[in-house]
Structure 1
Amino acid sequence: MVRLTRVQQQERTRTSVLAAAREEFTEHGYALAKVDRIAERAELTRGAVYSNFPSKRALYLAVLIDMVENAPAGEPSTRSPRSPAEVLGVFARTWLERLPLVDDTASGGRLHLRSLAGVLDDEHARTVLAQVVRLEALLLAIPLESCEPAQATPVRRVRLAELVLTLLDGSGHLAESAPGFGDPFDLARACEHLSGIDLADTWTPPYLPYVAPARPCGDAWDPPTGLADRISGERADLGADGLITVLGAGRLAAAEEAVRSARPGEQVTVVVVTSDAAETGRLVRLRVTDLIGCLRRVFAPEAWRRVRLVLDDEALAAAAIGLTDLDDETESAVRVRGGAIVARAHGRGAAYAASTADAPNGTRPRSARS
């Protein structure tokens, strides 16, 4: 008789719980689902469920992540950048595939939709979601901007991305309460036409002149290995010259500061940390994984240029930088050059401070003006 190792047994238990939980949530929905029934379905004790997932919300998020990560993947895009209107139409049609089908039950349709209605019922979770959506808009805006003709002043498309995501998310919420309302093809065409709206979009944060300077240094840099870049799906190379910013889940909007402040040609790595991997960490992972799955089917990998996104659940990158006291308000950055950390900054504006640390006369890099 083959004896399972402890790790194998834990994985088997986790798989059984996820399968049972998906059945429970599909049949009863999130609000009416019971952990006791999930344990019965999995033929486990209630304690065995909670030993793997500390709350019903953590379990629900894990089920959604499992669905997203194991869904049949569409063909990744290999096409060169096209017009913003064309790519927005393709992106919208890809995103709208999640809308409930006619024969779905109400609860099953919500699960297929990745609905978070009634799940994030506290202020902290809603605050984190707002920050995640800001990050999502940036992840969509970066490849949109790559579709634009080269200009002296680069075009910012973050507000357009926010508008598109608002329209699509709104259609999802409406699909929950009024199934079948709204034509997906009309929604996709509407997203195409949004690209023609002049939103006067600029990036000019008023706080930048007041950001505390970074601390110049020459610290040895021993980057952790094995971390994945969520955008490309490949290994994240943290040893390259560039900017590494560590953001708590409550500070994700600052990712754009890192992208705009980085010097031309240098890599930008956004590292996300959280003090609550079971719920907050899973919420970030769910939303990012779901969105990037859509984006990869629309944009070729080079559309993100040198931007990397790392979900650092074990705080490996943060520890390598020297950060130990982490929470959802963490905001810190270092600049790496020639295998060493040459600047460190903490607090609001950290990415900007680290990137401009040794700029002549304190001037900003050209890319920061976009």
Structure 2
Amino acid sequence: MVRLTRAQQQERTRAAVLAAARAEFAERGYADAKVDRIAERAELTRGAVYSNFPSKRALYLAVLIDSAEHPGAKEASSSSLAAALSSFARVWLERLPLTGDTPAGGKLQLRSLAGVFDDEPGRTALAQITRLEALLLALALESRVPRHTRRVRLAELVLTLLTGAGHLADAAPGFGDPFDVTQACRHLAGLDLADTWDPPHLPYIAPARAVRDAWEPPAELPDQISGHQAGFDADGVIAVLGAGRLEAAEEAVRAAHPGDRVTVAVVTGDPAELGRLVLLRVGDLTGCLRRVFAPDALPFLRVVLDDHATIASAVGVPDVDDATEAAVRVQAGKIVARATGRGAAHAAATAGPLSR
């Protein structure tokens, strides 16, 4: 008889809970699913379920994340903006339910969050995550257009169209043709949206504070964009952003010096739910990007989920919540600029280098 280690037993229990939860959610939907029935399906106690997942919502998110981590085939690399939009739409629309899927099963296929986050923190986080998604898609699209051409408004329009198609597929199965939606996304490339970057508040942001602090890089964490481990020993900007401040990522990106490595470390006061929500949505979108764009066309921005606030602590932010915004500029093994509060990401990114 093979004796399992504690870690192996915990992993087996977690897998059993996820499998049981997927069956329960697919049969009954999120609202009518019961943790007691999930425990019964997994042949475990209710306590064993809650020892791995603190809530039904956290368990549902884990099931969706598990679904999103099994990507399909990579698309042929597209050189034009129109072709890239068409490929991205085609990959995104693969999640639409198939004819014959049950309503609950269709919601899982869509990775639907309808009725899951209906409280204010959840709605705020979803709005901020969507802004980050638009930025990530836009940065990939900008690799297909002349330098310094912003495409965030185009990305927002594409995500609006695709998300609307998903909601219709959920509410009215069979309505609409995904091939038409793909063609529509392709033609959006020809729109002139006069997309500029000139937020009126930027001139009023206080400059970052010049310092010469030692920098002790934390351990590597997975980069949600590339899928690889991200280290923190290179020069660049690190912005620690709460789940309610993710829109500030663009302030760091647009202000960064040429060649800067820009890292967004996402923190939250609720890692089990809002943290998993960030992981699901950002990981889902970047999984689509990796299937469409070559590695050198992916956003140079790195996004890591700082669940245990290890990056925040290294940066010097002892307490984090969903409103956190702090940033540093790292150069030659030192922190050379610090900023906190609204505009911190922009302030650190615009800070001048340390004179040698």
TM-score, length basis structure 2:
0.96
Kindly state the Cα deviation for residue 2 of structure 1 after the two structures are TM-superposed: 3.1
Kindly state the Cα deviation for residue 83 of structure 1 after the two structures are TM-superposed: 1.8
- Equivalent residue for 2:139, pick from 122, 139, 142: 142
In the alignment, structure 1 residue 105 sits paired with structure 2 residue 93: no
C-alpha change, 1:140 and 1:271, in structure 2 (3 Å) is same
In the alignment, structure 1 residue 274 sits paired with structure 2 residue 274: no
Corresponding residue number in structure 1 for 2:6 = 6
Structure 1 residue matching 2:245: 3-state secondary structure: helix
Structure 1 residue matching 2:265: 3-state secondary structure: strand
Corresponding residue number in structure 2 for 1:86 = 83
Structure 1 segment 207-226 matched on structure 2, within 5 A: 207-226=201-220
Kindly state the Cα deviation for residue 72 of structure 1 after the two structures are TM-superposed: 4.3
- Equivalent residue for 1:293, pick from 282, 287, 292: 287
Preserved CA contact (<8 Å) 1:120 1:126: yes
Corresponding residue number in structure 2 for 1:189 = 183
C-alpha change, 1:208 and 1:359, in structure 2 (3 Å) is farther
Deviates most, 220-229 or 261-270: 220-229
Preserved CA contact (<8 Å) 2:326 2:340: yes
Partners of 1:171 and 1:304 lie apart in 2 by 25
Preserved CA contact (<8 Å) 1:164 1:191: yes
Structure 2 residue matching 1:180: 3-state secondary structure: coil
In the alignment, structure 1 residue 238 sits paired with structure 2 residue 235: no
Preserved CA contact (<8 Å) 1:76 1:296: no
**Identical-residue share of aligned pairs (%):** 69
User: Where does structure 1 lack aligned partners over 5 or more consecutive residues?
Assistant: 361-370
User: Where does structure 2 lack aligned partners over 5 or more consecutive residues?
Assistant: none
Structure 1 segment 1-370 matched on structure 2, within 5 A: 1-69=1-69, 71-75=70-74, 79=77, 82-150=79-147, 154-304=148-298, 306-358=300-352
Structure 1 residue matching 2:137: 3-state secondary structure: helix
Structure 2 residue matching 1:4: 3-state secondary structure: coil
Structure 2 residue matching 1:250: 3-state secondary structure: coil
Question: Which AA in structure 1 matches 2:36?
Answer: D
CA-to-aligned-CA distance 1:148-203 (integer Å, 9 cap, x gap): 124xxx21100100000000000000001111111111101101111111111111
CA-to-aligned-CA distance 1:94-123 (integer Å, 9 cap, x gap): 100000011211110110000011111211
Kindly state the Cα deviation for residue 3 of structure 1 after the two structures are TM-superposed: 2.8
Preserved CA contact (<8 Å) 1:26 1:108: yes
Runs of 4+ in 1 over 4 A off after TM superposition: none
Structure 1 residue matching 2:329: 3-state secondary structure: strand
Kindly state the Cα deviation for residue 315 of structure 1 after the two structures are TM-superposed: 1.5
Aligned alpha-carbon RMSD (Å): 1.5
Kindly state the Cα deviation for residue 38 of structure 1 after the two structures are TM-superposed: 0.5
Partners of 2:66 and 2:299 lie apart in 1 by 29
